[in-house]
Amino acid sequence: MLSLAFPAIDPIAIAIGPIAIRWYALAYIAGLTIGWRYTLAYINKQPYVMTRNQVDDLLFWATLGVILGGRTGYVLFYNLDFYLANPSHILKVWEGGMSFHGGMLGVIIAVFCFARLRGISFLGVVDAVAAAAPIGLFFGRIANFINGELFGRTTDVPWGMVFPRGGPEPRHPSQLYEAGLEGIALFCILFALSRSEKMRSHPGVVGGTFLAGYGICRIIVEFFRQPDQQLGYLMFGATMGQLLSIPMVLVGAGVAIYGLNRPALVGTKPADDTKTKTAKS
């Protein structure tokens, strides 16, 4: 059976004595940092949503939401029995185990608290964060590929790969499929939307499109991705990733439609970070 050689890249990017920095950690740093810079560029065209200083503060909130939500989601959705039996392992994030769906919920909660404390539009901030989210997804999936984890199902396609932990059979490089769909393709769609002044002025359109778009991409890729060993296939032969993505599609579509039917958010936000009477959504 034809297959491509898996590029054996050391998961550790930099090692100085006992200190080791992994590509996975660098992916998180790159996603958050580049996403922050992209969000700054995004609000240049929408200064009435939040100020540049508020975007800087938002980076901390988003990071907290990603880490706490991602870990909590993995514990609850993917390996609850193990962590109930071994609660001390919940804090061992260096052993792996992060859930996108949990991280997404964590960021939404963090953004909601942030927007309420600052007195700014919740959906407006969601749009700004969502526009940048595919950047982090792209780097994260590339890191999954480097780690040789979250690989696909067995296949006979010419680009199938034999993963170190996937047995002798060639498998779909599903991490690269996700990087292409959830990262590159979804970023391009949201970029096109955010370039439209009409779409930007209706809070919820970009964020809702991200939720629905990610859900659709994830459902498609799950047909090629190997289900988690401890879970396997669930109801109707679906995977956990697909079941968690279905509500995302429905909620995302609803939020986008809601945003389109709401009055446009217009105005000019003052340069300081004091609470204003800017219209909220």
Give the long-range contacts of residues 53-59, CB within 8 A, separation 24 or more: 53/273, 54/118, 54/120, 54/273, 55/128, 57/114, 57/118, 58/111, 58/114, 58/125, 58/129, 59/32
Give the Å distances, CA to CA, from 46 to 81, 115, 150, 261, 264.
46, 16, 37, 19, 12
Q: Which of 248, 238, 229 is nearest to 81 (CA)?
A: 229
Query: Count of alpha carbons within 13 Å of 262, Cβ hemisphere only?
Result: 22
Tell me the three state secondary structure of residue 9: coil
Give a three-class secondary structure readout of 16-62. ECCEEEEHHHHHHHHHHHHHHHHHHHHHHCCCCCCCHHHHHHHHHHH
CA distance 13 to 22: 5
CA distance 67 to 97: 11
Q: Which of 100, 8, 111, 139 is nearest to 50 (CA)?
A: 111
Is 141 assigned a ligand-binding role in the annotation? yes
Q: Which of 198, 191, 155 is nearest to 173 (CA)?
A: 155
Binding residues: 141
